[in-house]
Structure 1
Amino acid sequence: MCDAFGPRRIQGDVSLSSSFAIDVPEALLRRAQRGEASAFEQIYRRFERPVFTLALRLTGQREEAQDVLQDTMMRLFDRIGDFRGESPFWGWLRQIAVNESLMRLRRRARQGLAEEADDEALESQDLLLPPAAADAALLGQALQRLPDATRSVIWLYHAEGYTHDEIAGLMGKTASFSKSQLARGTRRLRELLRIETEVHPHA
């Protein structure tokens, strides 16, 4: 398994990676744990973008990603006193954001809502991927065209560094489910990327 913030390859030079590994000064954490509003605001500003980006990658919808951001931060404020520094702060907060995102996906599945990303999300690649090159943008667009569960498995495995057992626990599935979604999604991504690169040969 790679480092939690390191990329895993999908195809050729195209990879997924989580771009955020933010340190939080211990003094700032202590102030927040004492209930200082200004400290909470600083932490919110530090993690607003990475939490939103992760939520948007998993849910595929900006409105839901914004809701996940707010819910995650509310849980953070409620539970920050439980953080003991035994793991990186972003890893701890990221787990809350992942749980909130997957909970919304389960709710969406129960309600039978379509698994299609909205147009605004598809047009927001600058928020989601480093301004590397066109192949990264094409990968982002292809990811949004996958079903919710498949996209979630791919992102959690490749970008966030979760194992299949960990993904299974998060999603209430089996490790075999995670592996099959990863294999199926990777094949589909390759198909989509071939199509996109043929349509945009100079990308």
Structure 2
Amino acid sequence: MTGLREQKRERTRRQLVDAADRLFRERGYAETTVADIAAAAGVSTRTAFTYFATKDDLLFPDADERVRLAVDALEQRAGDDEPIPALLRALQGADIAVTDLLGDRAALRVALVESEPSVRGHALRRLADAQTAIGDALHRAYPDRYSPVQAAALVGAFVGAASAAAAAVAREAEGMTEAQRHAALTAAVGDALAPWTTERT
């Protein structure tokens, strides 16, 4: 059962994210400060910085948690799991590189990644960090199958395909439902990853 303090923290965190999204749309990213976001969320600037170290972090509030979920999934896999299915389940279960580009805030995030150099750099750094963490976890899970370099290459191929497809779907998502966006993404990623996921005879 979640305690009252944790519920309050999660509520404050969500208020900050919602306020940031609203102000980024209304005023523009560069014109919005963390102090503005804190005021709109009804908290102090100091409090805002205890939740998010930078303004960029407010755009990707759940990224670190999703990476942790993917790493945990690999570490807790069944002993007889083959590496490719295990990796796919870990990435799909955590929605790595997808949630921020296909969710309700997709259009805002894609627009800012494409128009704001600092946001683009932040997004690329987060993606690189995610690939490193998951690649390391894949190597630890299957040390006899993949060297650190091979694991990094495999994870990079999977995450790169998902993130590129998600960004493309988000740009073309006007008029599409959430289910249609995910279906388009699933089909595109499936085609891109066919060389790894299709059984060879």
The alignment's TM-score, normalised by the length of structure 1, stands at: 0.33
Which has the larger helix fraction?
2
Task: Report which structure shows greater RCO (CA 8 Å, sep ≥6).
Answer: 1
